[in-house]
Amino acid sequence: MDLYFLGTGAGMPSKQRNVTSIALNLLEERGTYWLFDCGEGTQQQILNSPVKLGRTEMIFITHLHGDHLYGLPGLLTSRSYLGGDTPLTLYGPQGLKRFVDTALEVSGAHLTYALQIVEILEEGIIFEDDSFQVETARLEHRIECFGFRIIEKDQPGKLMQDKLKELGVPAGPIYGKLKQGQTVQLEDGRTLHGMDYLGAPIPGRIIVILGDTRYCNGAQQLARGADILVHEATFAMDKQELAYSFDHATSHDAARIAREAGANVLIMTHISSRYQGDAVSELLHEAQQVHMNSYIAKDFWSFELPRKV
């Protein structure tokens, strides 16, 4: 599992940063990618990255400002041209369906796959299966905006193969059943309970990706105990009033949320184009004074989150 940053700029693209989009690489876990936001030019960024558009399973849109949304119609149609035929689900605020339907209808686009659009009307769990759960909460921005908490469910512990070998249990299908926690009866009449031969469960990982927001309780709620928190840091501390007036955050705000929520790693993105070259280090320095384990993302940068042991 790793995060791949396709665009890390705020408002409009610059020579150094495209507008917002983040890919969550879940190839090992489920053979797919999840995409978070889709600013203008995202499909071009994907062409220069290891991300495979045809293997994108879900797209989560934090809010309907153009720098998070305008790349979506082109990306959806290109997925068809590239042979994508598996279903795709979009999640986002009310109005997302009207935007997508209008763009596809007016342009005469035809998709070769099933597209489902889920508009988020309430906070809480919006997706869950056997391996993952996604929660959402409202943030504080000029229009309705959401953050997403991606929770990987705990994995079964490792099978105690040495213990089974000591008991004379032959390797093979029996091991597989025990790994699944099943009860197995051996040919000699012995009964083995799978849970007795599994190590401690492997804790799942938690990644939180927020849309545009100023410092708020919703961000803190989503970020609690996260392994990685992705938070906007549009401005430095000396622009605190400007940030607040436009419902954005400073690097100091992002670090406060990370520290107070007990998040392990803070990754800052959505960087204003006023911060170029060495000026970016100012943002990082301010954050690290509050939360040492902080980073600033850049386009085509990735951060791996290995399984816990």
Annotated binding residues for Zn(2+):
63, 65, 67-68, 141, 212, 270
Tokens representing 143?
Answer: 């229009």
Tokens representing 125?
Answer: 């769990």
Q: With CA atoms as reference, report the closest residue to 308 among 189, 251, 195, 225.
A: 225
Residue carrying structure tokens 């816990």:
308
Q: In one letter, which amino acid is 74?
A: G
> What's the gap between Cα 242 and its chain centre?
28
For residue 67, indicate whether it is catalytic: yes
Residue carrying structure tokens 């600013």:
39
Binding site: residue ranges? 63, 65, 67-68, 141, 212, 270
What DSSP state is assigned to residue 210? Answer: E
- For residues 219 and 239, what is the distance between their CA atoms, to the nearest angstrom? 20
- For residues 182 and 98, what is the distance between their CA atoms, to the nearest angstrom? 48
Q: Which of 37, 67, 253, 299 is catalytic?
A: 67
Phi-psi region of 128 (alpha: psi -120 to 50; beta: other; left: phi over 0): beta
Decide if 139 contacts 211 (C-beta within 8 A).
Answer: yes
Active-site residues, by number, are 67
